[in-house]
Amino acid sequence: MVYAFGTGEQGSYLPPIEGGTQVDAVRGVAVDAPGNAYITGDTYSPAYPGALPPPYPYPSLTFPYPNRMFVAKIKPDGQFAYVTLFDAGAAAAIAIDGAGNAYITGNAGGNISTAPVSLHAGPACSPSDCPAGGDVFVAKLDASGSFVQYNAYLGGSRGDWANSIALDTAGNAYVAGATQSSDYPITRGAFQPVNDVPQFAISGFVSKLNAAGTALVYSTYLGGKMHAGNPPAWDFINAIAVDAEGHAYVAGKTISVDFPTTPGAYQTKFLPGITGAFATKLSPDGSTLVYSTFLGGDTANGLAIDAAGNAYLTGATSSSDFLVTPGAFQPKYNGGPGEPNAFVTKLSAAGSALVYSTYFGAAGAVAHAIAVDHAGNAYFTGQTLDGLPVLHAVQPSFYGGTCYLFTPSGTSPTGAGTCTDAFVAALDPTGSALLFSTYLNGYATDQGLAIALDPARNIYVAGTGELSLAAATPFSYPLRTNGAAFIVKLNPTAETPFVTSKSITDAASFVSGLVQPGGLATIFITGLTGIDGIVKAKSLPLPHELAGVSVSLRLPPLSPDQPGEEIPAPLLAVADVNGRQQINFQVPSIGDFSAADIVIRQEGNVAVVTRVSIFNTPPGVFKVDATHGAIQHGADYSLVAPSHPAARGEIVIVYATGLGAVTPPVPDGQPTPNTPLSFTKILPTITIGGQPAEVLFSGLTPGAVGLYQLNVRIPRNAPSGEVDLLVSLPPVADNSQIYPTTFSRDSLPVKISVQ
């Protein structure tokens, strides 16, 4: 990872599955040749931290928007060149020309700036017809981010939305989206001059503006008017790209059975289903279709083209018979009821055949955007549930969490479900091999909405979500790191250490993904460099770094204005023995949190971030072999073993971890003093052979770090032989969620020999 940041002010549990609370989002990203990233999106924050002073005063709006648009330029090192706010509209996409001018499009209910309007094509949308917004806008912002060079509006008397923008080498801007207007501005000679669909139907459109933003070069509808069922026809164009000759390529979704297709195209008939994806190539003057084809499935969200004119499309499908090509990376449909599957398809330059087509990911995976490098590798981003194939991942584990359905007012929950994680992945030019794939997750719903590449193949992913990666990268620019809009810059060509939440265990019972504050834990990892053998801590207190490796525990944000605290972990050892790597550490002592991020760094650079549960974690009992506990006779400290069993009524010492807070507390990394003794605040219960045992002492072992001991009397009615010893803490209720849950906390049983 090169950098990551987030902005906004949403709490970790607020974003619902649908409806209710609004969130911030980066909806468009573009990158110039030097590696500067340009982003645009929306923020519902009353004051966007770090924003530069407005370059001009903002007028009152024709329509009230609860959000503000922003445009930002980020330098290659992650520092900000500018952040500019617009108190109107909703941004959808951004493009950059060779001089660093930014072109933004979206939907606006009034003028987005006080700059002179260069073009207003079509009638203004009236408030009664467009209560949620009005016209398409296209704005050109100069390289400094301080001056609007042109300010154009396109629209009819009903709602109009732009979803995507592209530029040609002459500086002409191409925008595409959807409109309800029968009087959207259309030019003479356009391919489809009339939108005669019924009221409330929606048609796609493609519009080309001249370089000055003063006139339409062409503008056309693109859609059908017939639907086999009851809903009116509608067609949405979600993405646009332009080749060197000025052909516009568009993709989206339709329910129109008569959506225009061309002879010889890959699929000319609408297949049975709710919606169908499509791809269309227009002539440079917008008067004819070079090709137009259905793709089956549900929707195409993202589109990119290569130098040869092949089109790369990505989106989501609920079709188990979506066509996949021989040798495809994922030939199997993994979707299910209400949970689609992502797809990636490469369409030939003629639009007549599939070069490759593959499903991707698990049920619930939806891809939103795609980019292609000069070699033909396809990079795409979206959102997913658990089951993503991962490779060279910076976040290899799914987090998800719980998200809630809300009433329209956003005040009352009506149900709960699993939040999605964002993801980014890359396929080779044949669509048969995975090059890179990682989750991008945080504490709520996360979605990758936009993607771009620079010449060095760094990947820029932007979207909505409270990414934990955003708090792992230091920035001098004052932006919140716990918000709901994000951008991440990744370098997948670098060797990436690999660890998942299942690779993090307590050090006693090796239960995956569960660690207890103050206790001992182990990380099993691959990809660390420069480690030979076992590197142990040589003295006490324990160090926070060994062999250039450090581990920290990052807590969830306490408030919208405060990122979560990051606490360094004391290290016992870092090892690489015959390629098997692990890190042994003490989990920092913290308060009442349900989960936290484990951040692993090497030579100060973030190597990997993954999440573990730290709330409902059970204790663990150390073992001397696969089954027998690390238990000593209290009289002489010899090991309890089948050849030297414990007697009924005898006091034995059981060594454990994860028994929780102690009093008086002992600083992390420090050995426990002999006096005063540190007792656990909660006395665990112990059964031996199913019989309750008397606990005489429960606390930290004097002279050791993070090691608990239990002095226990063997029950006089305990059965003889090899019996189970079980340590339990009281059940706990997680009241941080809308629907509280109670967790039991029992250790895994270990064997003890009793005579």
Digit-coded pLDDT (tens) for 674-713: 999 999 999 999 999 999 999 999 999 999 999 999 999 9
In single-letter form, the type of residue at position 676 comes to P
> What pLDDT, on a 0 to 100 scale, did the predictor assign at position 57?
28
- pLDDT at residue 566 greater than cutoff 90: no
Q: What is the DSSP string of 534-558?
A: EEE--SSSPPS-BTTEEEEEEPPPS
Choice between 578 and 662, residue whose per-residue pLDDT is larger: 662
Average pLDDT over residues 167-172: 97
Provide the token pair at 754: 């009793």
Instruction: Find the helix or strand (DSSP H, E) in which 362 lies.
Output: none
Digit-coded pLDDT (tens) for 395-410: 888 877 777 655 544 4
**pLDDT category of residue 63 using cuts at 50, 70 and 90:** very low
**pLDDT category of residue 56 using cuts at 50, 70 and 90:** very low
> Which parts of 361-500 are beta strand (E)?
366-372, 378-384, 402-406, 413-418, 421-427, 434-440, 447-453, 459-464, 485-490
Instruction: Measure the CA–CA gap between 32 and 491, rounded to whole angstroms.
Output: 16
Average pLDDT over residues 421-443: 90
> What pLDDT, on a 0 to 100 scale, did the predictor assign at position 579?
82
List, in order of start, the domains of the chain with CATH numbers.
27-227 (no CATH), 501-613 (2.60.40), 620-754 (no CATH)
Average pLDDT over residues 502-507: 85
Which of 128-132, 468-472, 671-675 shows the lowest mean pLDDT across its residues? 128-132
> What pLDDT, on a 0 to 100 scale, did the predictor assign at position 45?
54
Q: Which residue has the tokens 């090691």?
A: 707
**pLDDT category of residue 590 using cuts at 50, 70 and 90:** confident
Which of 185-189, 476-480, 536-540 shows the lowest mean pLDDT across its residues? 476-480
Which of 20-24, 69-73, 81-85, 360-364 shows the lowest mean pLDDT across its residues? 20-24
CA-nearest of 411, 344, 422 to 385 is 422
> What pLDDT, on a 0 to 100 scale, did the predictor assign at position 122?
75
Q: What is the 3-state secondary structure (H, E, C) of 227-257?
A: CCCCCCCEEEEEEEEECCCCCEEEEEEECCC
Cis peptide before 664 (omega within 30 of 0): yes
Q: What is the DSSP secondary structure assignment for residue 714, as one 8-state letter?
A: P
> What pLDDT, on a 0 to 100 scale, did the predictor assign at position 443?
64
- pLDDT at residue 55 greater than cutoff 80: no
**pLDDT category of residue 592 using cuts at 50, 70 and 90:** low
- pLDDT at residue 719 greater than cutoff 50: yes
Instruction: Measure the CA–CA gap between 336 and 362, rounded to whole angstroms.
Output: 10
CA angle 688, 691, 694 (to 5 degrees): 75
Average pLDDT over residues 257-267: 95
Digit-coded pLDDT (tens) for 282-319: 999 999 999 999 997 789 999 999 999 999 999 999 98
Average pLDDT over residues 707-721: 98
Q: Which residues pair with 216 in a beta bridge?
A: 209
Instruction: Measure the CA–CA gap between 119 and 148, rounded to whole angstroms.
Output: 13
> What pLDDT, on a 0 to 100 scale, did the predictor assign at position 4?
61
What pTM did the predictor assign? 0.74
Question: 304: helix, coil or strand?
Answer: strand
**pLDDT category of residue 501 using cuts at 50, 70 and 90:** low
Neighbour tally for 591: CB within 10 Å = 9
CA-nearest of 531, 625, 622 to 578 is 531
Provide the token pair at 364: 């619930």
Contact (Cβ atoms closer than 8 angstroms) between residue 156 and residue 183: yes
- pLDDT at residue 330 greater than cutoff 60: yes
Q: What is the DSSP secondary structure assignment for residue 22, as one 8-state letter?
A: -
- pLDDT at residue 534 greater than cutoff 50: yes
Contact (Cβ atoms closer than 8 angstroms) between residue 625 and residue 641: no
Provide the token pair at 516: 């207890």
Phi, psi (degrees; rounded to nearest 5) at 248:
-100, 130
> What pLDDT, on a 0 to 100 scale, did the predictor assign at position 493?
63
The dihedral over CA atoms of 301, 306, 310, 316, expressed in degrees to the nearest 10, equals: -20
Sign of the alpha-carbon torsion through 590, 24, 1, 428: positive
> What pLDDT, on a 0 to 100 scale, did the predictor assign at position 13?
25
> What pLDDT, on a 0 to 100 scale, did the predictor assign at position 413?
56
CA angle 34, 422, 448 (to 5 degrees): 45
Instruction: Measure the CA–CA gap between 241 and 243, rounded to whole angstroms.
Output: 7
Instruction: Find the helix or strand (DSSP H, E) in which 576 lies.
Output: strand 571-577
Instruction: Measure the CA–CA gap between 552 and 570, rounded to whole angstroms.
Output: 9
> What pLDDT, on a 0 to 100 scale, did the predictor assign at position 619?
92
Q: Exposed, middle or buried, 532 (CB in 10 Å: 0-12/13-18/19+)?
A: exposed
Which of 44-48, 65-69, 536-540 shows the lowest mean pLDDT across its residues? 44-48
Q: Which residue has the tokens 């809903």?
A: 231
Which of 105-114, 238-247, 309-318, 574-583 shows the lowest mean pLDDT across its residues? 105-114
> What pLDDT, on a 0 to 100 scale, did the predictor assign at position 292?
98
Instruction: Measure the CA–CA gap between 543 and 525, rounded to whole angstroms.
Output: 20
Phi, psi (degrees; rounded to nearest 5) at 502:
-75, -15
> What pLDDT, on a 0 to 100 scale, did the predictor assign at position 503?
81
**pLDDT category of residue 603 using cuts at 50, 70 and 90:** confident
Q: In what order do the strands lie in the sheet with 289-296?
A: 235-242, 248-254, 276-282, 289-296
Provide the token pair at 15: 């974003």
Choice between 82 and 711, residue whose per-residue pLDDT is larger: 711
- pLDDT at residue 389 greater than cutoff 80: yes
Contact (Cβ atoms closer than 8 angstroms) between residue 207 and residue 229: no
> What pLDDT, on a 0 to 100 scale, did the predictor assign at position 494?
57
CA-nearest of 296, 380, 385 to 340 is 385
- pLDDT at residue 89 greater than cutoff 60: yes
- pLDDT at residue 322 greater than cutoff 50: yes
Digit-coded pLDDT (tens) for 211-227: 999 999 999 999 988 76
Q: What value does the mean pLDDT of the chain take?
A: 84
For residue 448, what are the CA distances in angstroms to 19, 422, 468, 481? Answer: 19, 5, 14, 17
**pLDDT category of residue 132 using cuts at 50, 70 and 90:** very low
> What pLDDT, on a 0 to 100 scale, did the predictor assign at position 53?
36
- pLDDT at residue 2 greater than cutoff 70: no
- pLDDT at residue 452 greater than cutoff 90: yes
Contact (Cβ atoms closer than 8 angstroms) between residue 182 and residue 195: yes
Q: What is the DSSP secondary structure assignment for residue 512, as one 8-state letter?
A: B
Provide the token pair at 671: 């050995």
Provide the token pair at 686: 């112990």
**pLDDT category of residue 62 using cuts at 50, 70 and 90:** very low
Across 593-602, 608-617, 685-694, the highest mean pLDDT is recorded for 685-694
Q: Which residue has the tokens 């509209």?
A: 89
Q: What is the 3-state secondary structure (H, E, C) of 647-668?
A: CCCCEEEEEEECCCCEECCCCC
> What pLDDT, on a 0 to 100 scale, did the predictor assign at position 420?
87
In single-letter form, the type of residue at position 460 comes to Y
Cis peptide before 676 (omega within 30 of 0): yes
> What pLDDT, on a 0 to 100 scale, did the predictor assign at position 392?
83
CA-nearest of 460, 476, 463 to 7 is 463
- pLDDT at residue 173 greater than cutoff 80: yes
Choice between 86 and 183, residue whose per-residue pLDDT is larger: 183
Q: How far apart are the first and last CA of the chain?
A: 57
